[in-house]
Amino acid sequence: MRIKTIVAIDGPAGAGKSTIAKLLAKRIGADYIDTGAMYRAVALQLIRTGTDYNDPGALQAMLDAMDVDFSEGHTLLNGEDVSGLIRTPEISAVASPSSGVPAIRYKLTALQQAMGKRKSIVMDGRDIGTVVFPDADFKFYLTASADERARRRTEEMRAKGEEADLETIRADIIQRDYQDSHREFRPLRKADDAVEIDSTNMSIDSVVDTMMAFIEARDR
């Protein structure tokens, strides 16, 4: 392994990025950074403070007064562990449109770049290989069919004892795919030099093994 390595994993909602990125980070001894959690923390703060993200002055004041960080896998909003509060459909519904607002992206991009200066990281999101770390050591673009992503998300929620309707989840995934890839500012896009992996018919372990093979081949 190189001294300090940055691995970027981008892709649409529900492609398994966070599960895969977490495992890969463990294998290479890096920190895992979930940038989706950062956009979700901003959404939570927008709701809590009643800030309209279309009001530039109010938005900037809110952003200037907020910090997002991670500690041992937990998402911290101004020091408070909000991990348990940000995985709801309500937060997803605010995070997707608000993540298209430039002031929010500038703020989080700067925080993410600072995290990459400290140590080796595996970072997942929508614009990591294209904007946050265009010079990342390794870039992957992880996809899966919308049907398969909806099936996995439904199973995951049911396993946690939550109610989940496959059709509602599928419709939500398709809508978020559209919003995330059609927004005007820094949309979800595969970096030209990213390795694309379609995980529709792959197990979690085989996706991680595929990524490891690329990393080891180049580090040898």
- State how far the Cα of 185 lies from the Cα of 101, in Å rounded to an integer: 7
CB of 215 to ligand DC, least distance (A): 21
Which stretch, 58-66, 75-83, 113-121, 123-131, contacts ligand DC (CB under 6 A)?
123-131
Q: Is 139 in the site for ligand DC (CB under 6 A)?
A: no
Single residue of 180, 197, 207, 208 touching ligand DC by CB under 6 A? 180
Find the length of the chain.
Answer: 220
Single residue of 28, 46, 82, 126 touching ligand DC by CB under 6 A? 126
Which stretch, 24-32, 95-103, 133-141, 143-151, contacts ligand DC (CB under 6 A)?
95-103
CB of 126 to ligand DC, least distance (A): 4
Q: Is 95 in the site for ligand DC (CB under 6 A)?
A: yes
Nearer to ligand DC, 40 or 107 (CB): 40
Single residue of 63, 115, 122, 127 touching ligand DC by CB under 6 A? 127
**Cβ neighbours of residue 11 under 8 Å, at least 6 residues apart?**
17, 124, 126, 140, 141, 142, 143, 188
Binding string to ligand DC for residues 27 to 46, with x set by CB under 6 A, is what? --------xx--xx------
**Alpha-carbon distances of 8 from 2, 49, 97, rounded to whole Å:** 15, 32, 23
**Cβ neighbours of residue 155 under 8 Å, at least 6 residues apart?**
none
Q: Which two tokens stand for residue 54?
A: 């279309």
**Cβ neighbours of residue 213 under 8 Å, at least 6 residues apart?**
none
**Alpha-carbon distances of 195 from 5, 82, 123, 141, rounded to whole Å:** 17, 33, 15, 6
CB of 127 to ligand DC, least distance (A): 5
Nearer to ligand DC, 10 or 29 (CB): 10
Single residue of 5, 45, 51, 96 touching ligand DC by CB under 6 A? 96
Residue 131 CB coordination number (10 Å): 18
Q: Is 129 in the site for ligand DC (CB under 6 A)?
A: no
Residue with tokens 């990125």: 21
Q: Which residues bind ligand DC (CB under 6 A)?
A: 13, 35-36, 39-40, 95-96, 99, 125-127, 176, 180
